Amino acid sequence: MKGGSLQMIGKRIGGRYEIEQQIGEGGMAIVYRARDTLLNRTVALKVLRSQFGNDDDFVARFHREAQAAASLSHPNVVNIYDIGQEDDMYYIVMEYVEGMTLKKYINGHAPLDVKEAVDIAVQICDALDHAHQNELIHRDIKPHNILINKFGRIKVTDFGIARAVSSVTITHTGSVLGSVHYFSPEQAKGIAAGAKSDLYSLGVVLYEMLTGELPFSGDSPISVALKHLQETYVLPRKLRPEIPQSLENVIIRAMAKEPMYRYESAREMLEDLQTSLSPERRNEPVYLLPEKYGVEEDPEITRVIPAIKPEMMRKRNWDEEEAVPVKEPSEAAEKPAVREEAAVEETDTKPLPWKKAVGWVAGIFLFFMLVGAAVFYGFSFFRVPDVTVPSVQNMPLDEARQKLEALKLRPAIQEQYDEKVAPGRVIKQDPVPNMQVKENSEVRLIVSQGKPKTAMPNFVGQNIDDVESQLTGKYKDYHIEKETSEDQPAGTILRQTPTAGQEIVASDTEVTLVVSQGQEKATLPKLVGLTEEEAKLKLEQLGLRPQIDRKPSYEPEGTVIEQSYRPDNQLEKGTWVRITVSEGLPEEARRVKETVDVYLNPGEKASIEIKVTDATAQNKTVDSYTIKQSTQFQVPVVLSPSQDAIIQVYRDGQLYQEKQVKYSDFQ
């Protein structure tokens, strides 16, 4: 087969999958790393061995189950991308996982750290729960079919093949028995395996991770299979005492030889695993199965005994009835029979008087009447009445308790979180409604604690930009409030509601975060045009710090001509604001006075307004007068190389005179 494998390197399958390297080999298939040339990605190509391809029943079953496995979508399940056939070769195209098998990891690191082993088991259990909910059973859970990628994430593979193999005939026994160390007892018997078989196999995997050993081993696959059926295994804590009892209990329950004593579902096992290392379960007693189903026991230990269900009681009674031996008559029992026979013969030879015969008959009849009455009244006295179990599902616990106790049934309460059922209501019951049980029987009630609660994370001190992505979609809603802070930079979370560590139901919780917007801010006013003193006073009143620059300007000396921040800017208190103050005219400027004459007729009166456009301003009014006689005005103007001056005189609102003063005239 090695030669055939080498011939596959470089070959293109299905017109798009180019084989690069062989990366694995099993009893049923060879696995290659390949390049999907169409999507330009690396994939794992699993090619079935020829003996499986020749079995039409297997191929048809394989196609159905591979398609079912392809419907799974879960982060802990290897994705199946494609299935196909080329000539007489059948193949599956799967997600390529860069890493190693759990078997290889166990061989190199076992026994694993307890927390690490539980984390791996939780991920496998989560994958099985998803598959079982989609009505797909794996049937071949073992470390060889579990991959660990380079980030430590678990990926369960071979869902389709595992189920297809369950239909393989005895001619392929060698392939099927390759997983016998992880078989459930029902698989060892050769009967149909269900979801609980996967949980048994997972229990074996967890046992191996924690101890570095398998619970059963032998010289041949048959001997190992028989041990799964008949023998006990050494408890993990005897091999490794630091394993918590609560975690050992998970293995005991998962590896019960009788499926009815195992977990009801992968979800139930998952929830038990998730709490197995919690402090409150540290002193948990040993979980003891109702009968001896697979563990070596210490008679002195404290045990937890699960509730006996009615169907278990019926099975046990039936077994006991079948087990009652029929005793052979002893010699002592035979002798009275001989004597009785002799007495009969003697009676035959010597007849009794008729009165004595009547007495004997009456006595015998009375004896049987008394015995019958005793039996009837005895059974009536000791017989426990039957009760029909009522339906209490979805009832409030108090109401369900009253209903059961009214029928002389004993409620046993077990609480668990539930996303859908309101707190304090019954999720399910065991026995189920309408079942006949004896009075004083126990009815187990699974009661909702409501949605699972988690501790509120601590966001205080983090930046809101880093946290906001964690809030979206996880909580019912979140609100951000802002306030100033003298100590914390803008964007820092100052307070939160709910507080860190508070137990919450995330999907029902509204989160409020108070975020720093930095120090208190001031709105900068317009400073240009104010005097230096006016500007400094305004800045100091707002908690801002003035920085003074000076330069020549055509504005009056001491006037603010520039500011470093635009008006209406929000500035934190203590910010330096630079203002530029005019220190007088530049050297090239010329300040001159020009004479303007206004003439009036005798007795005439006029309103005079003088406007100037020069280097300092445009069209500014320099003075207004009311005159009653001709008057001469001295008008000051400022000239620059780029700006001459224009003087305009208005008389009673009408332009009376306009005069231009040129810079060049004063050079």
Residues 525 and 610 occupy one common structural domain: no
- The answer to whether position 321 is within a domain reads no
Residues 526 and 509 occupy one common structural domain: no
- The answer to whether position 473 is within a domain reads yes
634 has pLDDT over 80: yes
319 is known as an active-site residue: no
Residues 395 and 472 occupy one common structural domain: no
Residues 148 and 267 occupy one common structural domain: yes
- The answer to whether position 552 is within a domain reads yes
Residues 124 and 252 occupy one common structural domain: yes
Which string of DSSP letters, residue by residue, matches 202-243? Answer: HHHHHHHHHHSS-S---SSHHHHHHHHHH--B--HHHH-TTS
Residue 7, pLDDT score: 76
**What confidence tier does 89 reach under pLDDT thresholds 50, 70, 90?**
confident
Contact 80, 97 (CB under 8 A): no
590 has pLDDT over 70: yes
Q: How many helices (H) and strands (E) does the chain have?
A: 19, 32
Q: Rounded to a whole number, what is the largest CA-CA distance in the chain?
A: 194
**Residue 430: CATH number of its domain:** 3.30.10.20
Instruction: Give the closest residue to 474 by CA, choosing from 513, 431, 505, 436.
Output: 505
Residues 151 and 245 occupy one common structural domain: yes
Q: At what angle do helices 266-274 and 245-254 cross, to 10 degrees?
A: 170
Residue 324, pLDDT score: 32
| CA gap 588, 293 in Å, rounded | 111
> Last residue of a domain, which of 33, 65, 95?
95
- The answer to whether position 18 is within a domain reads yes
- The answer to whether position 317 is within a domain reads no
174 has pLDDT over 60: no
Beta strand ranges found along 420-468 (DSSP E): 426-430, 436-438, 442-448, 454-455
Question: Which range has the worst mean pLDDT, 221-230, 349-358, 635-644?
Answer: 349-358
Average pLDDT over all residues of the chain: 83
Q: Does the annotation flag 46 for ligand binding?
A: yes
Residues 63 and 137 occupy one common structural domain: no
Which candidate in 36, 126, 140, 272 is catalytic? 140
**What confidence tier does 340 reach under pLDDT thresholds 50, 70, 90?**
very low
Helix, strand, or coil here: 549?
Answer: strand
Residue 164, pLDDT score: 53
**Residue 607: CATH number of its domain:** 2.60.40.2560
Residues 609 and 543 occupy one common structural domain: no
**pLDDT tens profile 523-541:** 999 999 999 999 999 999 9
**Mean pLDDT, rounded, for 274-279:** 94
Instruction: Please give the residue range of the domain that contains residue 52.
Output: 2-95
**Mean pLDDT, rounded, for 13-27:** 88
Q: How far does Cα 567 stand from its chain's mean position?
A: 51
Residues 214 and 271 occupy one common structural domain: yes
**What confidence tier does 355 reach under pLDDT thresholds 50, 70, 90?**
low
Residues 76 and 105 occupy one common structural domain: no
Residue 35, pLDDT score: 95
Instruction: Give the closest residue to 447 by CA, choosing from 399, 507, 499.
Output: 399
> Last residue of a domain, which of 529, 547, 582?
582
DSSP H/E element including 521: strand 521-523
| CA gap 405, 579 in Å, rounded | 88
Question: Which range has the worst mean pLDDT, 188-197, 286-295, 356-365, 580-589?
Answer: 286-295
Residues 284 and 180 occupy one common structural domain: yes
3-state secondary structure 182-199: HCCHHHHHCCCCCHHHHH
- The answer to whether position 228 is within a domain reads yes
Residue 653, pLDDT score: 92
Q: What is the tally of structural domains in the chain?
A: 6
Residues 194 and 248 occupy one common structural domain: yes
Strand partners, 425: 396
- The answer to whether position 601 is within a domain reads yes
> Last residue of a domain, which of 531, 564, 582?
582
- The answer to whether position 256 is within a domain reads yes
Contact 574, 519 (CB under 8 A): yes
Residue 351, pLDDT score: 47
**pLDDT tens profile 196-228:** 999 999 999 999 999 999 999 988 888 898 999
